[in-house]
Structure 1
Amino acid sequence: MISTRGRYAIRIMIDLAEQDSDKYIPLKEIAARQEISKKYLEIIVKDLVAGGIIVGASGKGGGYKLCRKPNEYTVGEILELMEGTISPVACLTEKNNNCPRKGICQTLPMWSEYDKLVHEFFYHKKLSDLVKEKNL
């Protein structure tokens, strides 16, 4: 399940992309448009900045903006930054890929197929696919 952190991060990214601006967008404005608590968004944008997918500036004229064009972001990278792995089961994550039951697990092919579907869906979906067209 995708948490509010992941869902709200995508909404923040869409909001920034829709502003189509080189200016920094104040978090207060994003919070108002998205109807999300500014305090909660502060936590999320901190992780987005630390992950290198947005930049922030403080002070007068400060706020946040995208580092790249909207078509250069995938939903998958945003979700994995906020949620960690999007694999459905632990044995398919990179850290746990040495499962001792790997050779005999009757469910592994199903989980692998599901993991591939989810990964391909989110990594082929661009941020620009979610943005209301304004000159992207």
Structure 2
Amino acid sequence: MISQKAKYALRALIDLAEASHDDPVQISDIAASQDIPRKFLEQILLDLKHQGLVASRRGKAGGYILLRAPEAITFGEVLRIIDGPLAPLPCLSKTAYHRCVDCKDEAACQIRRVFAGAADATRGVLDKATIADAMGDAGRAGAATVLA
């Protein structure tokens, strides 16, 4: 299950993707349109900024913008930034692998074998699904424009 923070991050990114690519979107506008607590949204956007997905502009006309096209931001990437590894077991993680403490033989672990299939399927979907996909046809029409 994904966290509420991850859902908010995805909703905020979709909101930014739906906005005009020339105009930054203020936190208060995203918070209001997506029904996200402002303070929580500030933390989320800071995490996304540190990972290079969004940028902020200061001033009266400031706010947040996407740094990459909506079709270049996957759900898997966002979930890893916000919630950490996607794998259900630490021994299956591609980004934070470590052996399970109670495991005697990883290669023979029946539990690992079953969850490996689930993890591969999950990664297969989430690493292909993009913000543009979530937007439907509207995301594909404007997805070619990337802010510099």
TM-based fold match above 0.5: yes
1:21 match? 21
Greater alpha carbon shift after TM alignment, 125-134 vs 84-93:
125-134
Which residue of 126, 132, 135 maps to 1:128? 132
Q: CA deviation at 1:9?
A: 0.3
Deviations 1:33-65 (A, max 9, x none): 001111110010010001111111222111101
Question: Is residue 117 of structure 1 aligned with residue 94 of structure 2?
Answer: no
Gaps of 5+ in 1: none
Q: Offset at 1:107?
A: 1.4
Runs of 4+ in structure 1 off by over 2 angstroms are 97-101
| 1:47 partner amino acid | D
Residue of structure 2 equivalent to 1:85:
85
| Counterpart residue type for residue 132 of structure 2 | S
SS of 2:52's equivalent in the other structure is coil
Aligned to 2:146: none
Aligned length: 136
Q: Distance in 2 between matches of 1:100 and 1:68?
A: 44
Bigger mean CA offset, 91-100 vs 12-21: 91-100
Q: Distance in 1 between matches of 2:104 and 2:70?
A: 41
Paired residues for 1:53-68 under 5 Å? 53-68=53-68
RMSD after superposition: 1.6
- Structure 1 residue 100: Cα displacement: 4.2
Match of 1:108 in 2: 112
- Say yes or no: does 1:12 pair with 2:16: no
> What letter matches 1:121 in structure 2?
V
TM-score scaled by length of structure 1:
0.92
Whole-Å separation in 2 of the counterparts to 1:22 and 1:110: 47
